[in-house]
């Protein structure tokens, strides 16, 4: 009986340790800090916050993880993970006699929250007749067919440039990145505020960036 209890405890504690070794979409800020440690920098604006871990980032809404940009150092488990991809690549390499060119087929779904550098007002008709402070804006939903961090930064550059040309103000973009289209669409539809009126980045379509 004692041996059975010992085995049960070992299995339970091992599973608990494994669960505490990563965070996921929907985890709390405290969970990310527990798993990932203190970030190199933190940016907070209203209900939004972003933890930077080197060149990687984790974004939160109301202190809950809703997106990330992983440069290889985040302990996150969402959809397919890097370890599975690595194993698949090794199996493929054994079957081929010639070294195959590495192609990134990873699709990411992404949109951005726009945090303007200046307070903007909504002058549309309302009950009081007074202008209201405009809420944060957000971008269209994009897919990047062969996701890389460089492609994300190219998209950010285009949107930031267009925003400044349209509004005359600089802006900070908070990325929200997802592996799953349905989850990305649900979160995008739940975004509060209005869609930013910036021109499209059509030239990025040739690199696999598509608006939705």
pLDDT of residue 28: 92
pLDDT of residue 78: 60
Task: Please name the residue that has the structure tokens 């006699």.
Answer: 97
> Alpha carbon 143 to chain centroid distance?
12
> What is the tens place of the pLDDT at every residue in 16-52?
455 568 898 889 999 999 999 998 888 777 777 888 8
Q: Per-domain residue ranges for the chain? A: 18-80, 109-207
pLDDT of residue 188: 92
pLDDT of residue 31: 94
Comparison of pLDDT for 190 and 19, the residue scoring more: 190
Which sign does the torsion angle of CA 66, 70, 74, 77 carry?
positive
Domain 18-80 has CATH 3.30.1450: yes
Task: Please name the residue that has the structure tokens 């690595």.
Answer: 86
Task: Please name the residue that has the structure tokens 């779904």.
Answer: 109
Which sign does the torsion angle of CA 8, 13, 19, 22 carry?
negative
pLDDT of residue 94: 40
Cβ neighbours of 125 (radius 10 Å): 7
> What is the tens place of the pLDDT at every residue in 119-163?
555 555 555 555 444 567 899 999 999 888 889 999 999 999 998
The SS3 call for residue 83 is helix
Q: Categorize the per-residue pLDDT at 4 as very low, low, confident or very high, splitting at 50, 70 and 90.
A: low
User: Is the pLDDT assigned to residue 164 strictly greater than 70?
Assistant: yes
Average pLDDT over residues 192-212: 85
> What is the tens place of the pLDDT at every residue in 79-126?
533 333 333 333 433 443 344 444 456 899 999 988 876 655 555 555
pLDDT of residue 92: 36
Average pLDDT of the chain is 75
CB 142 within 8 A of CB 158: no
**Residues listed for the chain:** 212
Comparison of pLDDT for 121 and 191, the residue scoring more: 191
In the chain, the N- to C-terminal Cα span, in Å, equals 59
Q: How many CA atoms lie within 13 A of 21 on its CB side?
A: 6
Q: Which residues, in sequence order, are CB contacts of 56 under 8 Å at separation 6+?
A: 68, 69, 70, 71, 72, 73, 74
pLDDT of residue 199: 83
pLDDT of residue 112: 92
């Amino acid at each position: 009986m004692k041996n059975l209890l010992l085995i049960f405890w070992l299995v339970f504690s091992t599973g608990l340790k494994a669960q505490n070794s990563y965070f996921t979409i929907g985890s709390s800020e405290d969970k990310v800090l527990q798993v990932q440690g203190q970030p190199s920098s933190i940016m907070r604006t209203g209900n939004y916050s972003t933890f930077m871990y080197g060149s990687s980032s984790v974004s939160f809404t109301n202190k809950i993880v809703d997106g990330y940009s992983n440069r290889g150092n985040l302990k996150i488990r969402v959809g397919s993970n890097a370890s599975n991809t690595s194993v698949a690549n090794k199996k493929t390499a054994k079957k081929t006699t010639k070294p195959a060119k590495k192609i990134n087929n990873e699709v990411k779904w992404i949109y951005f929250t726009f945090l303007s550098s200046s307070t903007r007002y909504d002058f549309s008709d309302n009950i009081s007749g007074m202008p209201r402070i405009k809420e944060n804006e957000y971008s269209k939903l994009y897919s990047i067919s062969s996701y890389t961090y460089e492609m994300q930064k190219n998209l950010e550059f285009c949107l930031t440039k267009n925003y400044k040309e349209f509004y005359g103000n600089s802006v900070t973009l908070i990325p929200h990145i997802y592996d799953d289209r349905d989850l990305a669409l649900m979160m995008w539809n739940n975004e509060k505020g209005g869609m930013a009126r910036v021109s499209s980045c059509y030239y990025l379509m040739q690199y696999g960036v598509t608006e939705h």
